[in-house]
A and B are shown apart, each in its own frame.
Chain A
Amino acid sequence: MTKQLRFVVFGLVLLSTAGPTLSAKEAQPSAADPVLEQRVMKLSRELRCLVCQNETLADSRADLAEDLRTQIREQMKAGKSDKEIINYLTTRYGKFILYNPPVDPTTYLLWFGPFVLLLAGLFLLFRYVKQRSGLIAESPLSAEERRQAEALLAAESGKETA
């Protein structure tokens, strides 16, 4: 909480003074090894910052996000693969750290729920329409009614042409 507040204050200070250097802190590609830095940023974009949960690790300015980026950088330097690093983080922070939720039993509802609802809706709509079409009985006009209708139509068109 407090840290978030601190960042708000920090952000306001930056806003009031900085202007063109606003995005200074995020993603400074280190001059030392731009390739590595790109890999770090690419992986960070797939990970969630747990402090400010709607941000990725790449976007976040939280202290923890910076620490985790440092971890990722060091592990990459040590030759670890992206998969190993993701594994390292999920054993500590859980799958929640993955910004893109993986498809597994705990997320089936998330991934497939909307489609289940869509199918259920289609089914109900189909049933409803079918039921209603059964309710509307065909009632052909009797000879008398037909004569009346024709007379009315004739009178109507007669008026218009007049």
Chain B
Amino acid sequence: MQIERLQVVLKPRTMWESADLGTKLAMRWFLPLSLSWVLLALPFLLISFQFDRFVIQLLFLWWFKPLYERAVLMTLSILIFDGRITLGGVLKGFADSRLWFYLTFFRLSWRRSENTPIDALEDLDFNTQSQRRNWLYAGDTRIALIVSLFGLMIEAIIVLAIISLFYFLTQSDFNSAYSGVLKILNINEISKEESIFLLIAVFLAMWVSAIFYVSVGFATYIDRRTIKEGWDLELGFKKIVNRLGVLALGVFLVLPNVDLIARESDAETDAILENVLDAPEFNQTKTITVPEHLSQYFQDMFKVEDDGPTRYRVGIGSTIFAWILKFLLIGALIVALVFFFYKFYATYGIGSSLRTGEKSEPSQTVRIRALPTNLVQTIREDWSNGRIRDALALLYSAAVVYIDKKFSCDILESDTEGECLRKTSTIDTESRDAFQEVTRIWLRLAYGNSKPSDEIFESALLRFEKHIVAP
């Protein structure tokens, strides 16, 4: 194996870091890996359409997953060694007889992600391979289990997301969309068209899941070999030899003497160094003026990140973007809070100074130009004909007009319900209680959309008649 050509940074990683590396690999080569998976899986999808029952279709498509994953694994193994993808190179992975075990006896094995790289890339007999697997992973199969469970979860989420999006975008109302989602998920009563749609959703979910599943398994394999076989050490030692070369041969071979001489002359060296650093060449200063923030901003914005193996820096461009979003969010939160408090005081705040005199919409309906002559009868007719809002609006506004006229409360056109209550606080108890009851049921309907019962309405109307309308 030519580890020099590996396109990942070799270093000892924990299993979780290996999973992160796998995610990175999947994203780095998502297109070629996807292509290899789709090319192999698509015929199986088309064949599955020929079956009558959805369960059989699904089982058929799902059962051959190890086959499609092998194509991804072989493509990734070529790409990761900086190779050129050829059909022969990919097909080589299918010559492995152990692949058929994964399609039969080991089909339900959740360790497939970490086992298949050994099977596909190391030509070992069955027993040796088993020992090799135990040695390499040292019985730690947690990541294989997590990756399998995560893969299943992702598949379920994607399928649900596709179905929901489809129905919520195509149906006119929530109930129809919700019913559609529930109906398609009831696979026993699924129609032919729905089964095709659901199968395509499953296919897409399996595709995305497989890329990450295989990549994480492969990354774990690479990292375990790095730890167990010191791949990073081998590369590092070779680099030292190449860099120091023949020159170093002499240096290394006479190490003890060289070091001793150096140690004995430490004081002398320090003195020389001090002299050198005191020299004028090291004590020149020059003052230059640079618009610091601006230049830094542009330097960071257009910085070419070429100083490390995918060791990227947090660019100021993305920081600014994040700041803009952050301020927008904070601004939206503040506006929402202000609006909330405004509405709260406008509705319930008695004598609130936040009011500007403008009526909110439900209150505006109260202001009617003239009261009907047969007032109580009109209110009752509205109520019995289902015009609840009209009935209560009329009842409330009539109450305001009568109270104002009867007790000279000086109620203005712009007064809120709360202000009306405050202005009527000094009138006689029975009239005040009647007015409060009318106001309460009106407010509950207007702002809380809560309809009073017939008994409450009738009671309020009677009290209105008796204590407010009557002279």
**Do they bind each other?**
no
**Residues of chain A whose beta carbon lies under 8 Å from any beta carbon of chain B:** none
**Residues of chain B whose beta carbon lies under 8 Å from any beta carbon of chain A:** none
